């Protein structure tokens, strides 16, 4: 899910255990003979907890689809399955992990300048034709060659993060909420070692799943993919559960940031985006909103990149409507100044960024050095 930028196979993995061709650490994976990924994942599945039985009907509660899972039936995500009268779920593996700047998860108000180990798995409850991480999120639908799960324990993954000097552990790349049981197991180990924990989600989840993860999870970063029901219908979901999840996550005490990837010809209507800003202001004026420019990818390689001028206009409107922190990303040149964080009281720049990386941090703890205004987030 983090369609904007999150997964690039050519980046160096967190450990040489994730190897490319000829055992070379960090090399790009080759397209080898396709393995039966679904069968491999089924062998790693364990009994799950996020489900309910009412009037004899067993439903999964990990995402807003609330799929009925009779024995042998797989949910919309492709990985949660009815088995032996219950639900089995992904556990004990990863598909990718990388050590990168925390900001590459499009999260700006958490530990700026620190390193994050970000990991992902397979499967997704939505079908975005512009997904940058489609080799993971859509692997079970696309029959992607060369993909296989890497068995992993929660302890070993956290050990890697600590050894790499990370202060954050993040679940991203596909949809983490469909593997909430595994994510919680990893995050419990991470919290015990003093790490911050983050989920990068499409937001198409449930109050039950959010409550389940909250004790071990600090941050819920949401991709808000459009402003109208037809946008989500095209992607296989509904907008209402996403907006409700943002509200519920704030109520539960998560730190929440919202990202909208603006795609030409899909969700690039200025009036609609301004209306979305109005909805976010009503939730919380201090909620950071990231407007990221689409870049051609996956099934939309023929579509042009998003021009940043519209994003600049929408960002200005969002500020005028009362949002305190609005960012524009996936752009170059002078527009990159819109990656910076500015104090909402005196307007001084308190954190400077370039290409999703903090370059200057002028905060005094979590406060502006100039006027003492506290900047909302998890800075200390």
Domain 93-339 has CATH 3.40.50.2000: no
Q: Tell me the average pLDDT across 214-223.
A: 98
* Position 139 pLDDT exceeds 60: yes
What pLDDT, on the 0 to 100 scale, is given for residue 29? 34
Q: Tell me the average pLDDT across 22-27.
A: 29
* Position 251 pLDDT exceeds 60: yes
* Position 26 pLDDT exceeds 60: no
Q: d(Cα 186, Cα 180) in Å, to the nearest integer?
A: 10
* Position 15 pLDDT exceeds 60: no
Closest CA to 201 of 268, 233, 246: 246
Q: Tell me the average pLDDT across 111-116.
A: 97
Closest CA to 223 of 196, 199, 207, 192: 199
* Position 329 pLDDT exceeds 80: yes
Q: d(Cα 138, Cα 144) in Å, to the nearest integer?
A: 8
Q: What is the mean pLDDT of the chain?
A: 91
Torsion angle, alpha carbons of 268, 271, 127, 304, to 10: 0
What pLDDT, on the 0 to 100 scale, is given for residue 106? 98
CA distances from 250 to 15, 56, 107, 152 (A): 34, 33, 15, 31
In this predicted structure, which of 37-51, 179-193, 330-344, 364-378 has the lowest mean pLDDT?
Answer: 330-344
pLDDT band at 143; cut points 50, 70, 90? confident
Determine contact, residues 47/82, Cβ cutoff 8 Å.
Answer: no
pLDDT band at 112; cut points 50, 70, 90? very high
What pLDDT, on the 0 to 100 scale, is given for residue 144? 87
What pLDDT, on the 0 to 100 scale, is given for residue 18? 35
What pLDDT, on the 0 to 100 scale, is given for residue 22? 30
* Position 316 pLDDT exceeds 90: yes
What pLDDT, on the 0 to 100 scale, is given for residue 25? 29
What pLDDT, on the 0 to 100 scale, is given for residue 380? 82
């Amino acid at each position: 899910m983090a369609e904007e930028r999150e997964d690039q196979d050519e980046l160096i993995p967190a450990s040489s255990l994730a190897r490319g061709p000829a055992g070379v650490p960090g090399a790009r994976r080759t397209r080898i003979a396709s393995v039966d990924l679904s069968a491999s994942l089924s062998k790693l599945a364990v009994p799950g907890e996020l489900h309910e039985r009412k009037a004899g009907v067993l439903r999964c509660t990990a995402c807003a689809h609330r799929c009925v899972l009779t024995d042998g039936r797989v949910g919309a995500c492709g990985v949660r399955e009815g088995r032996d009268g219950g639900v089995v779920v992904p556990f004990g593996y990863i598909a990718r992990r990388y050590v990168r700047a925390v900001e590459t998860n499009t999260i700006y108000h958490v530990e700026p300048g620190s390193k994050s180990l970000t990991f992902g798995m397979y499967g997704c409850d939505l079908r975005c034709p512009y997904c940058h991480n489609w080799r993971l999120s859509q692997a079970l639908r696309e029959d992607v060659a060369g993909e296989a799960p890497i068995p992993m324990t929660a302890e070993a993954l956290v050990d890697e993060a600590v050894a790499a000097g990370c202060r954050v552990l993040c679940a991203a790349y596909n949809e983490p909420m469909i593997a909430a049981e595994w994510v919680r197991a990893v995050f419990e180990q991470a919290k015990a070692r003093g790490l911050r924990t983050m989920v990068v989600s499409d937001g198409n989840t449930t109050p039950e799943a959010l409550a389940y993860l909250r004790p071990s999870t600090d941050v819920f970063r949401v991709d808000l993919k459009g402003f109208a029901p037809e946008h989500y219908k095209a992607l296989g979901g509904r907008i209402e559960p996403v907006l409700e999840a943002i509200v519920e996550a704030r109520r539960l005490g998560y730190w929440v940031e919202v990202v909208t990837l603006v795609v030409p010809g899909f969700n690039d209507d200025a009036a609609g985006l301004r209306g979305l800003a109005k909805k976010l202001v009503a939730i919380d004026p201090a909620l950071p909103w990231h407007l990221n420019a689409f870049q051609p990818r996956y099934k939309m390689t023929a579509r042009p990149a998003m021009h940043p001028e519209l994003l600049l206009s929408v960002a200005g409107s969002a500020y005028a409507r009362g949002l305190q922190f609005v960012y524009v990303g996936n752009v170059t040149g002078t527009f990159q100044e819109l990656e910076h964080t500015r104090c909402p009281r005196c307007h001084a720049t308190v954190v400077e960024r370039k290409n999703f990386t903090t370059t200057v941090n002028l905060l005094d703890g979590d406060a502006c050095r100039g006027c003492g205004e506290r900047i909302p987030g998890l800075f200390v």
